[in-house]
Chains A and B, each alone.
Chain A
């Protein structure tokens, strides 16, 4: 009875892992701010958003594990893969940098994911549609929150503006990868399971354009973007991140609460 679209299972599992890894890794990065945020409200907001992201990652890992059908669990997928097996985009694994950098990255990711989940609401796959149904509302809060900070810092003091401009420069090479399409994303889009990432660029640019206009910021064009995350090729920061993320499961394999 389950509405699961007909598709090569490997493509479905791959796309679920890419999404799950994006959410897990960004959630982990955000959680690093816990106790270090510039004000109490943010100290609550960032772990809250991290919790949303990790919750969304869990739903995706659970479904990936089930679709894969090889007896792996969500924990195996989240904690016990090697670096080259993680398929997240490079933007999310970057070190947090300052608050402006973290918030701009959050804003970019939320702007992309809002368009993505919106397209996935009508997924031919019932589980993907259900995950999207919840995530699309949660990401709307993230988008507003991060968007307000981009405006406030971009249109703030000289110092906050300098920081936000630096963040725009620093993140510019990582934006294109969000929209990368390949055989896997094509197959998934064709089967009606999830939107083609390349098709989301207009919506993303509209969102970013509106907020940047208010913040007095300009997007930076880069000659070529960084790529590789979707194939498991990561930057230097990723290994350090995984060392911390996986510490417990590597030290006590199979540990449960």
Chain B
């Protein structure tokens, strides 16, 4: 793994400056990154003044990678989850940077392979790099992503993953089916590493809660 922090500084700024989003606005952010002073505050190692053809390619590559669904929760894309950090064209190769979610998430490799495949499908030579710093948190899930989770029947994670209350489940989890706040936790550890099992006391339906980390 040679992917550590070398690239993380500019990426960090980009992700942090990404309040909500979804695919469209991420792609827009990507384009605006071509402005050298914003995109590469540190010595630019790639495309500070990208020719317009390159910019289009990069946006195209971004869109292809961003459309990859999460293998375990296919209602959301990896862009919705905030785990696709950037896609850049470097020496003709589309380089996608993704960040792992939960330490033990078995989907990490599947996601990386799917991103690489999507980029190749879109006509690029492709490489995927894993970025671990700064660590992903559920706060990076976009508003669209949270909505899609809810529509799929999974209660989205509480915001503010740094709060002990949120981590310790003393949060208000609304039923994704009927919206009731009368819910109770059945099991802390659910069907996948990222989910806990809840029950709605109003409509009596069980549902998954996307755990906050």
Interfacial residues, chain A to chain B (CB-CB below 8 A)? 1-3, 41, 44-45, 48-56, 58-59, 62-63, 65-66, 126-127, 129-131, 133-135, 137-138, 140-141, 144-145, 257
In the A-B complex, the 8 residue pairs with the closest CB atoms:
A55-B104, A55-B103, A51-B104, A130-B133, A133-B135, A45-B189, A48-B189, A41-B187
Chain B, interface residues (CB within 8 Å), range: 20 to 34
Within 8 A of A (CB), among B123-161: 132-137, 161
Minimal Cβ-Cβ distance residue in B for A143: B168
Please state if B4 and A52 are interface contacts (CB–CB under 8 Å).
Answer: no
| A-B CB pair tally, cutoff 8 Å | 96
* Nearest chain A CB to B24 CB, angstrom units: 29
Given known A-B contacts A62-B1, A127-B5, A133 and B134 have beta carbons under 8 A apart: yes
Give the CA-CA distance A121 to B104 in the complex, in Å.
19
Give the CA-CA distance A2 to B7 in the complex, in Å.
9
Given known A-B contacts A62-B1, A137-B213, A127 and B105 have beta carbons under 8 A apart: no
* Nearest chain B CB to A228 CB, angstrom units: 28
Minimal Cβ-Cβ distance residue in A for B213: A137
Q: Does B114 count as interface, using CB distance less than 8 angstroms? A: no
Please state if B167 and A137 are interface contacts (CB–CB under 8 Å).
Answer: yes
Interfacial residues, chain B to chain A (CB-CB below 8 A)? 1-2, 4-6, 8-9, 42, 102-106, 109, 132-137, 161, 164, 167-168, 186-191, 193, 197, 211, 213
User: What residues of A have a CB within 8 angstroms of the CB of B193 in the complex?
Assistant: 48, 51-52, 55
Please state if B167 and A141 are interface contacts (CB–CB under 8 Å).
Answer: yes
Given known A-B contacts A1-B42, A134-B103, A137-B167, A44 and B5 have beta carbons under 8 A apart: no
User: What residues of B have a CB within 8 angstroms of the CB of A45 in the complex?
Assistant: 187-189
Give the CA-CA distance A59 to B106 in the complex, in Å.
13
Give the CA-CA distance A22 to B4 in the complex, in Å.
23
Beyond A55-B103, A126-B133, 10 additional pairs, beta carbon < 8 A = A1-B9, A2-B4, A45-B189, A49-B189, A55-B102, A63-B1, A130-B132, A131-B132, A134-B102, A134-B136
